[in-house]
């Protein structure tokens, strides 16, 4: 991939990768770091792109792996769990916490459709918004909006308990 082609890829995909990183991290600063590192790694390892998926899928996979690495790194450096304030965690991070997992599943069980299924497909099924939209016969944008609303509803329910 030439520098010019990579510049076009960056221009075309930056906001989508940043939005995805924002969804994962819930923190603008961390999302910006993940996005920049994603494009750096993509450029330096562009030979590893086999073309078996869309470029945006490849970039989001890199971003997801970077987010998981950063989450693990921070967990090692974090104070013991009893000192961590739950309200500071995003919904996705709570899923990883086994104690909170039960509360999340109870709140999800009570959530109305299609919010419940969209959230589960996105978080637990790790499907793209395009794939979630296709399952429902809707657009990718519909899946994004529905997922965002589901996250808000879930967060409200978790804050109530």
Same structural domain for residues 54 and 89?
A: no
Same structural domain for residues 100 and 143?
A: yes
> Would you say 41 and 62 are in contact if contact means Cβ atoms under 8 Å apart?
yes
CATH of the domain at 140: 1.10.10.10
State the total domains in the chain.
2
CATH of the domain at 56: 1.10.1740.10
pLDDT for residue 19 is more than 80: yes
**37-60 pLDDT, tens per residue?**
998 988 887 766 666 667 888 888
Domain boundary among 12, 45, 77: 77
pLDDT for residue 84 is more than 50: no
pLDDT for residue 132 is more than 90: no
Contacts of 91-98 with CB under 8 Å at 24 or more apart are: 91/123, 91/151, 91/154, 91/155, 91/158, 92/23, 92/24, 92/26, 92/123, 93/26, 94/158, 95/123, 95/124, 96/71
Same structural domain for residues 72 and 95?
A: no
- Alpha helices (H) along 78-138: 91-96, 98-110, 115-123, 129-136
What's the domain range around 131?
A: 85-160
**88-127 pLDDT, tens per residue?**
456 656 555 666 677 777 888 888 888 888 888 888 778 8
What number of CA atoms fall less than 13 Å from residue 100's CA on the CB side?
A: 20
């Amino acid at each position: 991939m030439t520098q010019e082609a990579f510049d076009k890829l960056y221009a075309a995909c930056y906001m989508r990768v940043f939005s995805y990183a924002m969804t994962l991290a819930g923190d603008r600063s961390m999302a910006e770091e993940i996005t920049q590192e994603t494009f750096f790694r993509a450029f330096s390892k562009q030979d590893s792109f086999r073309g078996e998926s869309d470029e945006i899928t490849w970039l989001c996979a890199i971003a997801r792996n970077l987010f998981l690495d950063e989450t693990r790194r921070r967990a090692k450096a974090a104070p013991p769990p009893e000192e961590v304030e739950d309200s500071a965690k995003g919904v996705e991070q709570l899923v990883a916490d086994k104690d909170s997992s039960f509360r999340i599943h109870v709140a999800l069980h009570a959530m109305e459709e299609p919010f419940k299924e969209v959230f589960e497909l996105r978080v637990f099924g790790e499907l793209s918004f395009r794939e979630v939209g296709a399952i429902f016969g809707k657009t990718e944008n519909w899946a994004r909006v529905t997922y965002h609303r589901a996250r808000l509803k879930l967060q409200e329910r978790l804050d109530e308990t």
